[in-house]
Amino acid sequence: MAPLELVDDDDDPLLSGSEWGIDNLDPGECVGVFVEDSTPRVPSNVRCSPTGELVITNNAFWTDPVVVKYDGTQIASCPLEPARCEIKGQ
């Protein structure tokens, strides 16, 4: 997932897909980002099997809109609500 990147509205990097340490997601799998001192778990309204490295940040960047890029091309834009960003591959 190294070509995946999360950036802010100014195109500043927030997170690289390589941080999860996996090459791809299989159907039904998901990755997450958790803020320090939180309890890392999949929210009850999300149905998936977590995989990859646990990514912890001290910056709750999801409190602002996030742009998702793959290999430099924008593939999604995640608004503030709902507080999750679902991206489905093809």
- Domain locations in the chain? 4-78
pLDDT band at 42, cuts 50/70/90? Answer: confident
pLDDT at 85 over 80: no
Rounded CA separation 25/40 (Å): 19
CB 5 within 8 A of CB 69: yes
For 12-21, what is the mean pLDDT? 93
Rounded CA separation 72/54 (Å): 24
pLDDT, residue 16, reads: 94
For 9-29, what is the mean pLDDT? 92
Q: What is the separation, in whole angstroms, between the first and last Cα of the chain?
A: 14
Helix, strand or coil, per DSSP, at residue 34: strand
